[in-house]
Amino acid sequence: MFQQFERLPPDSILGLMAQYRADAAPLKVDLGVGVYRDATGATPVLECVRQAEGLLLAEQTTKAYVAPAGRAEFNEAVEALVLGPDHPVRRERRARTVQAPGGCGALRLGAELIHLAAPAATVHVSDPTWGNHVPLLGGCGLRLDRYPYYEAAARRVRFDAMLERLDRASQGDVVLLHACCHNPTGADLPPAQWDQVIELLERRRLVPYLDLAYQGFGVDLERDAHGVRRVLARLPEALVAISFSKNLGLYRERVGALIVVSESPDRAEAVNSHVLKIARGIYSMPPDHGAAVAARVLTDAKLKAGWLTELEAMRVRIASMRTLLAAELRTATGGAGFDFIAGQHGMFSLLGITGEAVARLRERHHIYMTADSRVNLAGITPENARYVAAAVAAEHSGSA
Ligand SMILES: Cc1ncc(COP(=O)(O)O)c(C=O)c1O
């Protein structure tokens, strides 16, 4: 059976992590893997999570199964966090939320639902997009296509080209939108452009699929959900995949959720039964621990206040590293070519340098980033920013 298999090349990000670990240089910088890091390079357990875990440990009386939908109080708290307590789709009972194993699990669950409902639909993803969107959405048999989104060399969103391409999508196709903190570009749409996208989705009868993996990492919890809330207020059907890996630092606990919006409460109930059947057929029930922690933090006023402070500290650190790196690059290059980094959102920006320059940064300077020149700004510290800027300036001009 397995004779047909040749060994695959390593996953590009996991391969990069292994290379970084094996690099014995005393000064090396990891801007590759997408996790938050503090100024010491650590990815700490949040204090609110530690406290919630303590409470759960003391109170938990059983490890019996939860349910394919996960914890009801988690799903309720997530819906309120993402949509706001008073969103019309909640009042109209058109949204159903299920817990999922991380944002990836939610994305796949939603993709399976789309494939079941409309196997011939195409899912349009941004060019560029997060690499794992392709296997997560395409792996269940859905056809993927790309719409222009960002021009790395010019450092700008190709908004007109995006609209022009989506205007040619077929009715019933799905459009994957990054809700905030676009990965890998860091370039988000301003509210007026969201409205133009919504108008197009409505007019062309396209189904939005929103990926919300960084709520609270961009501007704040409310404004990072602006796009999701506006889209859901206007479109009859939509999906939202949510991750708590970054904003609660729960990466390995696999905490996510899928919200599916349907045109009526009855339809929402019917759709939900299919979502649960799909979940039952893949992983049966989501893992509980991380979602129990998240539910506790979201519903306990004191823990939630602590979380908001910690979340703000993460966001402010990333934003200040954006400002610092942009300033150092201005000094190192003698120009404003990298100023764009300071104004973008979330953990990532694309430097817009060549793959050869990325390789030289790795080989000569021990600075690691993905081949598309995506950098994780959380890997920058006050100590390494000047070093990184000088190296980028040297290798970028070397390839120009
Ligand atoms: C854009 C995007 N969506 C979804 C995810 C899913 O995250 P997880 O499955 O770790 O919760 C990530 C994680 O890096 C991401 O960057």
Q: In angstroms, what is the span from residue 298 Cα to ligand 1's centroid?
A: 20
Q: In angstroms, what is the span from residue 99 Cα to ligand 1's centroid?
A: 15
Q: In angstroms, what is the span from residue 168 Cα to ligand 1's centroid?
A: 28
Percent of the chain with pLDDT over 90: 94
Question: Which residues lie across from 277 on neighbouring strands?
Answer: none
Please enumerate in sequence order all residues whose Cβ is within 8 A of that of 221, keeping only pairs 6 or more positions apart, or say none.
Answer: 81, 215, 308, 311
What confidence score (pLDDT) does residue 228 get? 98
pLDDT averaged over every residue in the chain:
96
> Which residue type occupies 302?
K
What confidence score (pLDDT) does residue 14 get? 83
Q: What domains can be seen in the chain, in order of their start residue?
A: 12-44+304-399 (3.90.1150.10), 50-299 (3.40.640.10)
Catalytic residue among 213, 238, 241, 279: 213
- From 108, 130, 217, the mutation candidate for ligand 1 (largest count of ligand atoms within 8 A of CB) is 130
- pLDDT band, very low/low/confident/very high, at 280 (cuts 50, 70, 90): very high
Q: In angstroms, what is the span from residue 266 Cα to ligand 1's centroid?
A: 31
Percent of the chain with pLDDT over 70: 99
Q: What is the mean pLDDT of the segment spanning 221-232? A: 97
DSSP classification of residue 10: P
DSSP classification of residue 186: -
Residue nearest to atom 2 of ligand 1 (CA): 213
**Residues 95-127: tens digit of each pLDDT:** 999 999 999 999 999 999 999 999 999 999 999
Quote the tokens at residue 51: 């406290």
User: How much is the pTM?
Assistant: 0.96
**Residues 15-34: tens digit of each pLDDT:** 888 999 999 999 999 999 89
Backbone angles phi, psi at 349, to 5 degrees: -140, 155
23 part of the active site: no
**Residues 320-330: tens digit of each pLDDT:** 999 999 999 99
What confidence score (pLDDT) does residue 400 get? 43
Catalytic residue among 30, 173, 246, 385: 246
- From 78, 180, 243, 255, the mutation candidate for ligand 1 (largest count of ligand atoms within 8 A of CB) is 243
213 part of the active site: yes
| Nearest ligand 1 atom to alpha carbon 243 | 11
Is pLDDT of 398 > 70?
no
Is pLDDT of 187 > 80?
yes
Residues whose beta carbon lies within 6 Å of some atom of ligand 1: 34, 102-104, 130, 183, 211, 213, 243, 245, 251, 256
Q: Please answer whether residues 141 and 338 qualify as being in contact, where contact means their C-beta atoms are separated by less than 8 angstroms.
A: no
Question: Which residues lie across from 239 on neighbouring strands?
Answer: 209, 260
Q: In angstroms, what is the span from residue 243 Cα to ligand 1's centroid?
A: 6
Give ∠ CA 343-240-255 in degrees, rounded to 5. 90
What confidence score (pLDDT) does residue 313 get? 98
Lowest mean pLDDT among 3-12, 60-69, 70-79, 211-220: 3-12
